[in-house]
A and B are shown apart, each in its own frame.
Chain A
Amino acid sequence: MGVVRLLRLGVAATVWILGGAVLMLASQPARAVPPFARQTGLACEACHTLPPELTPFGRRFKLNGYTLTTRPPLVNDIDDYKKNTLWLTDLPGIAVLAQIGYDHYDRAPPDTQNPYPAHAQSDTYQFPDQFSLVYAGAVSDKVGAWLQLTYNGEGGSVGVDNIDIRYSDHTYDNKFVWGVTANNYVTFQDVWNGFGSYTIPNFNTVTLYQVGVAGAGTTGPIINTFGPGIVAGLGGYVFYNDSLYFEFSEYHSSFATGSTPVADSSNLAANSGALDKFAPYVRLAYEKDWGYHSAQIGFNGMYVNWIPSNSYISAQQVLAANAAGNTYTPSQTFNPGAINRYTDLTVDWQYQYNGQHNIFGFMGHITHEKQQNSDQLVAATFTSPQGGPIYSNSTDNLTQFLVTAEYFRNRHFGGLVSFTRTTGTSDPLAYGGDGSPANQYETFELDYVPWLNVRFLLQYDAYQVLANNQNPFTMSNNSFPTSPQWPNVKASNNNTWVLGLWMDY
């Protein structure tokens, strides 16, 4: 197998690995957690329709830095100006989140080591799928935090998960609410949670073949993947007149995975790629509430300089390359200094009906991404002394459209339907297969919520189109499509039933 072929596979794998890294470590965004309820004295329904989606009140609670409390401090100290120097409640806001899943795949996943699997299974338990410890709540009278540590059953790892630390203040008449947020997941800080880190399905489904084909595993805008261990950033925001929101944030590469991304280029690459210098993120949104209704329209944009992980050579690739007569060393960077530039622009919207018995939601977004590939990596202008080009085009475009409708009755029974479609420039070198990054899938979900902190769900994910020539199994072994054991591999082979249990305490 030639080096060029290796690189192509590397690029394709990168798309999945990048998504997979987020999926495995970052798991899911902020959820309703009992500490917020214990702190405020309010039931979950004050802040959430069905978690993680927020009600208008929930949005304001978050914008006000998670600080609203009815608990008097157990320990309090003030300075000479009557300003708090210490403010501790009698109970830290600790929560346990657990997700347990049972998955049934339309077709058993292939054995990665053997093209003729003898024991492939299509039914598995994820027990637990995810288990998190969270601190959530006020740190002082103006500072609040969400700090999450997660064991992910799929990845088998424990890691620092979502973090959002806020300082917030407001005028007496609430005409202006402003604050600062430090977080490690682009869009995690958003209060309309309709894009980016807030994907559908929002249960931490283990999609077929480990890194999966749903959510983060499919080809999508790079902004969706900037999770814990990849980036961290700081932002300031203003919420004016209870309706107009503006935020400016900046993100840098993060150390959180234990690697040292700024130390040298090989680590940059080993870290599934890395953000170069800083990436600005701008968010503008307008919300109008009337009666039981709440409507929002928004925009966000992000500009990213990205050092692609496709410049990294895996140990296996080194062996293969050496066998082909080339000499490489593990973790060597193929194309040092190669930087791709991404511009992601998103329009998002949301409508909620928060009635006394019925909740209806309709939300969606369109993200357009322009990806300008480094000349060093593009076929026509390829300059690297080693390897071969890994993009066919100097500019690739990607558009993702996602729309979700949901309904809940009496906060006990409900469900949602979600549709995702991604299209983009055909780039055979980047995406492999027929070169299309396209994917299309739907999520259908039924929920039963006997208590607000216990949720059962039955979910079905249906796929019509997937990247890489619609073949989900090429990622594991490229010989599968032609294998007599695996004829007619198609996108719908990934269709998945999920029976899930979601508990917070």
Chain B
Amino acid sequence: MKKFMNRSLTVSLSIGAIALAGALVGTVRAADISLPPDPGARDAATLVSFACSKCHGWNTNGVSISPIFPILAGQNEVYIGAQLRLLRQHGRADPHARAFMWGISNKLTDEQIDGLSKYFSSQPAVTGRPSSNPALAAKGKDIYENGVAEPKVVKCAQCHGEVGAGTNNVPRLQGQHPGYLALQLHYYHDKLRENKLMNRNVANITDDQIAAVVEYISTLTGDEPTDDSASVNEGK
């Protein structure tokens, strides 16, 4: 019996040590972690820690690892808010929006959406990097800045800006995963993601053009020249 107790004690201590180790390392205070799991009662930072971070950057910085999920760090606040409202009301209906965001945004309050928008937009933004395929990027630069004449593809820079920073309700493209951008362009082209302006702008875009333009966007860095004329897109 004594032996058994000793072993049990060892086991208990081991488990206890693990729990203690967790408790000692910059942990969440009791008051924080005891928040009711009612989404309506959660502040934005808690929501990010509990939920959003599982896809959009595990350490709550809004920089996702998988291109399935967009990078939200530094994204425009108004745009994030508009998207969350759309997702909440199922107004954005592309496959990934349905699979991942319809349900999880369903119970968000307006206050939480505003808080999340502020939170992510204030995270340090990601910028581009040099292309490993300069020829493709050069082709993409032409499409991005000048569009395609025939069949017509509207130039991206017209709304998203020369360096892809976007404006309030036009999304920032700079630093975004190329894979995510490509998928969205396919969604817009196929009208799986509905937005009258974007559906029309990329109605004629080809797979090769998508590959080129996202390659170029992945190289964009810097700040936008101060010109707020690109607010025609309603951020859908």
A residues neighboring B (CB under 8 Å): 37, 40-43, 45-46, 56-57, 60-61, 64, 67-73, 76, 78, 81-84, 87, 138, 141-142, 169-176, 178, 180, 234-238, 242, 246, 248, 250, 277-278, 280, 289-292, 354, 356
Contact = CB atoms under 8 A, between A and B. Distances in A.
A277 B50 CA distance: 39
A141 B100 contact: no
B188 to A, nearest CB: 15
A220 to B, nearest CB: 27
Contact of A176 (B22, B51, B68, B98): B22
A83 B31 CA distance: 8
Contact of A175 (B11, B31, B59, B107): B59
Interface in B29-76: 30-40, 45-46, 49-51, 53-55, 58-60, 65-68
B133 interface: no
B88 to A, nearest CB: 11
Nearest to B186: A356
Interface stretch (B12-20, B77-85, B153-161, B212-220): B12-20
A176 B27 CA distance: 8
A291 B28 contact: no
Nearest to B103: A41
A71 B99 CA distance: 16
A45 B99 contact: yes
A172 B60 contact: yes
A178 B21 contact: yes
A60 B56 CA distance: 13
12 contacts: A43-B103, A46-B99, A46-B100, A72-B38, A81-B31, A82-B36, A83-B30, A141-B37, A172-B49, A234-B15, A291-B67, A354-B68
Nearest to A178: B22
A178 B19 contact: yes
Contacts of B55: 46, 57
A289 B34 contact: no
B102 interface: yes
A69 B35 CA distance: 14
Interface residues of B, number: 53
Contacts of B34: 81-84
Nearest to B99: A43
Given A57-B54, A292-B179, A173 B59 contact: yes
Nearest to B24: A176
Contacts of B25: 171, 175-176
B104 A41 contact: yes
Query: What are the 5 closest A-B residue pairs judged by CB atoms, nearest first?
Result: A41-B103, A178-B22, A236-B15, A43-B99, A236-B18
A290 B65 contact: yes
B38 to A, nearest CB: 5
B103 to A, nearest CB: 2
A370 to B, nearest CB: 22
A336 B165 CA distance: 77
Residue in A84, A234, A356 with the greatest tally of chain B CB atoms within 10 Å:
A356
Nearest to A233: B11
B231 interface: no
B50 A68 contact: yes
Contact of B18 (A84, A172, A248, A278): A248
Given A61-B54, A68-B51, A72-B107, 9 more contacts: A57-B54, A141-B36, A169-B27, A172-B32, A172-B46, A173-B26, A173-B59, A236-B19, A277-B7
B153 to A, nearest CB: 22
Nearest to B40: A72
A350 B36 CA distance: 37
Contact of B28 (A60, A68, A172): A172
A291 B179 contact: yes
Given A178-B19, A354-B68, A81 B30 contact: yes
A81 B26 CA distance: 21
B65 A291 contact: yes
B183 A43 contact: no
A237 B17 CA distance: 10
A76 B38 contact: yes
A354 B50 CA distance: 23
A15 B16 CA distance: 37
Interface in B165-210: 177, 179, 183
Contacts of A57: 54-55
Contact of A87 (B36, B46, B49, B98): B36
Nearest to B31: A82
A70 B103 contact: yes
Contacts of A69: 37
B104 A42 contact: yes
A314 B116 CA distance: 66
B36 A356 contact: no
B68 A174 contact: no
B106 interface: yes
Contact of B49 (A61, A73, A173, A242): A173
Nearest to B58: A242
A477 B85 CA distance: 69
A93 to B, nearest CB: 14
A175 B61 CA distance: 12
Given A141-B36, A141-B37, A250 B106 contact: no
Nearest to A37: B103
Nearest to A282: B14
A52 to B, nearest CB: 19
A178 B19 CA distance: 7
A278 B60 CA distance: 40
B36 A234 contact: no
Nearest to B32: A172
A248 B15 contact: yes
B62 to A, nearest CB: 12
B103 A72 contact: no
A356 B58 CA distance: 20
Contacts of B106: 41, 70
Nearest to A68: B51
